[in-house]
Amino acid sequence: MVENLQEGMRLHAMYSDGEFYPATVVTVSTTKKRAKAPVKVHFEGFGDEHDTWLDVDSLKSKQLSKPKAKAKSKAAAKAKSKTTAKGFKYKGKTVDEILQTTTAEKREDGTYVVKIGILGGSGMDNPDLLQEREEIDFKTPFGKTSDKLVCGKIEGVPVVLCGRHGKKHTLMPGNVPFRANVFAFKALGCTHMVVSTACGILREGIAPGELVLLDQFIDRTQKRIQTFYDGRPGSPAGVAHMPMATPFCAETGQIVKEAADELGVKMHPKGTMVSIEGPRFSSRAESNFFRLLKADTINMTTVPEVVLAVEAGLLYCSIAMATDYDCWKEDEEHVDVAKVLAVMKGNSDNVLKVWKKAIPAISAKATTGAIEAQQAQAKNNIMGVH
């Protein structure tokens, strides 16, 4: 059967929900390593992250004989055993309900128990930092999270930690499971999502080692799904048209900036982040183009992370850790990984100090109005369901 397949051939392939969808053959392998799943396909209309290696029984087209009934049934059963949005429930709530309603615990006086999802967080997984520490695996309808989730408390405030790029930084930016990470935080009852991100510098006035509190972004990514409502069978119903005029939470940002000031940590009060696809760095022409856009910093992960957080009704705050000047600055040495890592060590220490001070303050000062307004926005801007 494999010999009948060619790259570029259009056919129908079985997706993880057990149904067949239009797809294109990307690669056909004849190696022993790929004997059980020799065909890589791209599902038409889906992102590249859905590309999958399949066995021939999971394919059908006019050029191929139909799969044997027994093999097809086995493959379908295996696919349906995976977690998908269709039929998913957590604590009695469907995917739509988790995204569109507040999942946080509500007190008798009408206020919410603030719970904070922390992503990025070098050093935040210190056992001495967290009380009541517990690691959990959490299955989402959007795949696995980047790493195991670590639940616990910081100064009595409930938090959930996750390393964005995995425990050993094995996930390149375009392969970070952004939807799974954000959805897990929301399902577990988080009201806020605070993150740290390494970045390059695009203008004078920001120095390596300083922190920038983000308030805007410019999207230059190319291949990433930016919505939970992607139209795939089993996804939440409707189309999300989320306002993005103010994607970062000003209330949370002010609290974080006050904490940095009290600690004497240099933090710029606002900044626009350009997110590029990566994993490569920019060319000089690109770097100068981004400067024309009046951007301050550049990274590879803010988008779609902030977009998905807003879509999930989470109050999102991001500290950018400036590591180096992007290549527009010709009198500086070119960026390389070794230099970035050296600066990041000092940056990470400062971010850790800020989060330790800011998290109890966020819990104490976060307003019910801000939490409910963010959630109302996430619910009221879905078209096709109301």
The Cα 276–Cα 91 span in angstroms is 37
Rounded Cα gap, residues 196 and 321, in angstroms: 7
Is 17 noted as a catalytic residue in this protein?
Answer: no
Backbone angles phi and psi of 97, in degrees to 5: -70, -35
Amino acid (one-letter) located at 47: G
The answer to whether 324 is a known catalytic residue is yes
Catalytic residue among 326, 331, 336, 349: 326
* Active-site residue, selected from the candidate residues 137, 324, 336, 349: 324
Annotate 352-374 with b (16+ C-beta within 10 A) or e (fewer): bbbbbbbbebbbeebeeebbeeb
Q: Which two tokens stand for residue 60?
A: 């059908």
Q: How far is CA 34 from CA 28, 30, 64, 72, in A?
A: 9, 7, 19, 19
Q: Among candidates 179, 162, 185, 225, which has minimal Cα distance to 102?
A: 185
The span from the CA of 266 to the CA of 263, in Å, is: 9
Q: Of the candidates 78, 192, 88, which has an alpha carbon nearest to the alpha carbon of residue 140?
A: 88
In DSSP terms, which residues pair with 274 in a beta bridge?
218, 298
User: What residues have CB less than 8 Å from 314, skipping those under 6 apart?
Assistant: 117, 182, 185, 186, 190, 191, 192, 193, 374
Residue type (1 letter), 133? R
- What's the CA gap between 57 and 109, in Å, rounded? 58
Other CB atoms within 10 A of residue 340 CB: 18
- Give the residue numbers marked as catalytic: 324, 326
